[in-house]
Amino acid sequence: MGESARPTPSAPASALPAGVVAALADRYRLVRPLGEGGMATVYLAEDLRHGRQVAIKFLKPELGAAIGPARFAAEIRVTATLQHPHLLPLFDSGEAAGQLFYVMPFVAGETFRARLAREGQLPLGEAVRLTRAVAAIRHHRHRT
């Protein structure tokens, strides 16, 4: 999703401005926050058209006011062009009541942060495998 996400406690989707929830109501039912990073907050949502769970990433309003939405819009454009086995595809993007967002598949499971907290450190082979995968993704992103 662009940056590390910190899990957030379960809270209603109403934590978003009512206008955002209303603007997306015909396409997505927002369920709860999943995590928060430096630029954005990610919500679990139901894609009403396709009957699937998705993750919707919203630019933080205070950040948008400080730097403008250009950086987030650039992330959306780059993400839309990337195709790699280790990257999630972009399903949708847009603006809802003044907030930029994009939609990606929801992947259930433990976060990397939670795994490290639980295990302390990864076995060497697993750490090398993950480092190679991340390096391949970064190389692919900068090449495209």
| Tens digit of each residue's pLDDT (9 = 90 or more) over 38-55 | 888 999 999 999 999 999
Closest alpha carbon to 41 in 77, 17, 25, 67: 17
Domain with CATH 3.30.200.20 in the chain: 6-108
d(CA 4, CA 14): 23
- What's the CATH architecture for 6-108? 2-Layer Sandwich (3.30)
Which pLDDT score, from 0 to 100, does residue 49 have? 96
Q: What is the pTM of this model?
A: 0.75
